[in-house]
Amino acid sequence: MRTKPLYAIVLLLCSCGGGEATRNTIQNKGSDTLVNVAQAWAEKYRDVNPNLAVAVSGGGSGTGISAMINGTVDIANASREMKPKEINMARSNGIDPIQHIVGYDALAVYLHPMNPLNEITFTQLSGIYGEGGTIDNWSSLDLEHSGCSNDEIVRISRQNNSGTYIYFKEAIMGKRDYKLGSRDMHGSKDVVDLVSKTPCAIGYSGLAYATSAVKIPCVRQEESGPCVRPSLATTIDRSYSIARPLYMYTSGQPTGAVKEYLDWIMSDEGQCIIQAKGYAPAHSISCN
């Protein structure tokens, strides 16, 4: 059982005098949804504590959680909750995962700008992405898509180790699996990039990755319900129906440098950074 924090002591040579100083390094890995804001936090925290370095890497929620289970990270980033079997595996390795909600994210549906679709429903999304779904062509949505000559819907998705992949499946399809034949991308940015270059495409990804090169329709959870467009405001007030918490996991209650870092992330300064990146903060904040 690991009883000491993972963060390592690194010796740095001071170029100005040849002396040595100690610097702590926190290992932080996981969700591609969170990787940009995690890097922004790490960079800004250098000003707060120059003696602490935060090493950030992505790879998906599953990658971060696996690293937490194996005891090779101090903080695992995830855009989904850990599964019971993952928690049991961690505990069998002497690690007690503690969940911290650090913000909220809206999953947007992305279309090519030439696509005339302005709104979409949960039922239609399930028919496009879900196993057994029969919506394979844009004309099935009573849509004439002049930019897509063969009328085929090109489905862009995420790889199955992604928390975004799992959350979208659970929110839209429930217990149904994805149908085969999608183009599964490694990262959130990759989804948006491919949709922007593929007139026949539809994809889903975090709203923070939106660009002017894609179109975002509003979404109806119920057929007769309101059609809500994802935004910072609709994520904060929870009126947008495909929004989720974003998590950081630690091994046990954080202490020392890890606790100080997480406390700063949850402060107004840290939460204003996640809001500036396009996510909803975890609590009410005041930003300059």
Q: How far apart are CA 248 and CA 36, in angstroms?
A: 14
What's the token pair of residue 100? 């911290």
pTM, 2 dp: 0.82
Which CATH class for the 106-236 domain? alpha beta
pLDDT single digits (tens) 103-143: 999 999 999 999 999 999 999 999 999 999 999 999 999 99
Looking at domain 8-102+249-276, its CATH superfamily turns out to be Periplasmic binding protein-like II (3.40.190.10)
pLDDT in tens, 195-241: 999 999 999 999 999 999 999 999 999 999 999 999 999 998 889 99
Q: What is the pLDDT of residue 288?
A: 82
Considering the chain, tell me which residue range(s) the CATH 3.40.190.10 domain(s) occupy. 8-102+249-276, 106-236
Predicted local confidence at residue 22, as pLDDT: 47
| CB contact set of 252 (below 8 Å; sequence gap of 6+) | 95, 96, 98
For 283, phi and psi rounded to 5 degrees? Answer: -155, 175
Parallel, antiparallel or unpaired: strands 119-121 and 218-220: parallel
Mean pLDDT of the residues in the chain: 92
For residues 62 and 161, the answer to whether their CB atoms sit within 8 Å is yes
Mean pLDDT score, 16-41: 79
What is the average per-residue pLDDT within 68-91? 96
